[in-house]
Amino acid sequence: MKTALVTGANRGIGLELVRQLKAKGFDLIAVCRESSAELDAESVRVESGIDVTSREDLAQLKGRLGETRLDLLVNNAGLLRSSSLAGIEDELDDWRAQFEVNSLAPIRVTSALGDNLASGSKVIVITSRMGSIADNTSGGHMAYRMSKAAVNAATVSLAHELKDRGIAVGLLHPGYVRTGMTGNTGHIDPDEAAAGLIERIEELSLDDSGSFHHANGEALPW
Ligand SMILES: NC(=O)c1ccc[n+]([C@@H]2O[C@H](COP(=O)([O-])OP(=O)(O)OC[C@H]3O[C@@H](n4cnc5c(N)ncnc54)[C@H](OP(=O)(O)O)[C@@H]3O)[C@@H](O)[C@H]2O)c1
């Protein structure tokens, strides 16, 4: 049986990825800071108490996994906070927090669990089209956009780093999804987003490692 690890698994898109990957036959490792009734109801392995921005927590997670091989690592945990030009000095902690969670954590988690990946494994970073510079036609959300653009840049390097080990890496935008992050506004629900993301994960190969796609299959501009 294949094993998938998903971060931010207690709610939103991460919870739905857990449900649908489980239905596809994966053994799940659902990573979160604190579990939820919905996640507990899935009866999967839950690794709680893990803040993806904490070095100690990532070492703890690595210790709990031991030698477990991960066929799929989904870096899904993310953070959206307001960030405005006028408010930057007062909001600086929020700007930095988004960089910690959205830009650094996916790379830190992948580094911490690097020995659990092997040839044929896939690493996914759930990014956002808001990290696309070419696609930025409306402005706003400076910190979130910066943080996702930064993770996009780093993930392309990650794809190069992991290619020789036979590990494919993908950057996926889930769509505009009704979750806590968006105040439950959006175009689609998490089940539709997760279904599209899983289709893209199944399609991902070493040949298009480092690519940036919408869950609906559209290739996104940088
Ligand atoms: N919803 C959208 O329209 C949309 C669009 C584009 C991209 N995305 C991306 O999709 C991913 C999932 O978003 P979502 O909509 O499902 O958001 P969400 O409902 O707000 O869920 C965010 C998840 O990230 C976790 N998280 C945040 N900070 C963390 C930390 N320091 N350590 C560990 N976990 C942390 C949260 O855990 P807690 O419960 O502990 O806070 C939660 O599980 C994110 O990367 C987001 O940027 C979403």
- Name the closest-CA residue to atom 5, ligand 1: 176
* Separation of alpha carbons 98 and 132, rounded Å: 16
List residues near ligand 1 (CB under 6 A): 8, 10-14, 32-34, 51-53, 76-79, 101, 126, 128, 173-174, 176-177, 179-182, 186
pLDDT of residue 97: 98
Q: In ligand 1, which atom is closest to the CA atom of 180?
A: 19
How far apart, in Å, are the Cα atoms of 1 and each of 28, 64, 115? Answer: 10, 19, 19
Neighbours of 36 (CB within 10 A): 16
pLDDT tens readout for residues 158-183:
999 999 999 999 999 999 999 999 99
- Name the closest-CA residue to atom 43, ligand 1: 8
Q: In ligand 1, which atom is closest to the CA atom of 11?
A: 43
Per-domain boundaries in the chain: 3-214
* Separation of alpha carbons 154 and 107, rounded Å: 8
pTM of this structure: 0.99
Ligand 1 pocket: which of 13, 98, 127 to mutate (most atoms within 8 A of CB): 13
Strands of the 3-7 sheet, one edge to the other = 45-47, 27-31, 3-7, 70-75, 117-126, 168-173, 211-214
- Name the closest-CA residue to atom 37, ligand 1: 8
pLDDT of residue 141: 97
pLDDT of residue 9: 99
Contact 193, 206 (CB under 8 A): no
Contact 18, 28 (CB under 8 A): yes
pLDDT of residue 41: 98
Q: In ligand 1, which atom is closest to the CA atom of 178?
A: 1
CATH number for the domain whose boundaries are 3-214: 3.40.50.720
Give the chain's residues under pLDDT 70: none
Show the beta-strand stretches assigned E in 138-209. 168-173
